Amino acid sequence: MSVLYRFLRRSLRRFRPGPDLPEPLLGYRFWLLGDDGLLRSWVQDYTWIAGPNEARCLVAAPWWPFRAPHPRCSCGFYALKRPQGNYIRANCKHFIVPGVVALWGKVWEHEEGYRAQWAQPLVLHGDLRLCVDPDEVRLCIDRAAAIYNLDVMAVT
Amino acid sequence: MYIGKRTRRLRVAAPTRVPREPIPNERPLQIPAQKPEKVPTRA
């Protein structure tokens, strides 16, 4: 019974009339900022591109037929719902720059954040007073803003 | 980044493209004029 129920629920999910949310979600995350102004993931070997980024599972084989984020995997673009915890502590130290990201597509909501299929960086912000070398970080932030067409809200 | 336990799945619409403002010196779009329909006339 439960198997049939799950099968029917999954089948009917495809025929829902529209998306659950009409606009992209906003999340908070941080990037590893390079000297070249490119934003990189601080966990995975991934460099963000300008514009929308589509998530792919780095664990599954390329031929495996599912799209990230999978419910039982940890893949997808991560972002926090609120700026809290490590997001505050990692503020511009060692070129880790916090920012706001737009998330859309297939999104798994978690207790404190999201895992999304599509993501695009929108804003970089940080407290440059906490940096060891604020001028250099500011230069890299400006480079990243030019590459990714970002708004910068940095406290100097 | 720890984001807690999974709660629910959402389907979120993609961002809509904002129409950009026209540039002042930009040439307007040339729309070819439609040919007038041929009306049969008596000789």
In Å, what is the CA distance from A73 to each residue of A76, A77, A86, A106, A120? 9, 12, 22, 14, 21
- When pLDDT is cut at 50, 70 and 90, the band that residue A106 belongs to is very high
**Residue A15 contacts B where some CB pair is shorter than 8 Å:** no
Measure Cα distances from A152 to A146, A148, B9, B40, B41 in Å. Answer: 10, 11, 31, 67, 69
Q: Are A111 and A91 in contact (CB under 8 A)?
A: no
Which residue matches tokens 């991934």? A46
ipTM of predicted complex: 0.74
What local confidence, expressed as pLDDT, does residue A114 receive? 95
Summarised one tens digit per residue, pLDDT across range A14-48 is 666 677 888 899 999 989 888 888 999 988 889 99
Give contacts of A20 with chain B, Cβ < 8 Å: 10-12
Q: What is the pTM of this model?
A: 0.75
Reported in sequence order, the residue ranges of A44-95 that DSSP labels E, i.e. its strands, are 53-54, 77-80
Chain B residues contacting A via beta carbons under 8 Å? 1-15
- Interatomic CA distance for residues B42 and A126, integer angstroms: 81
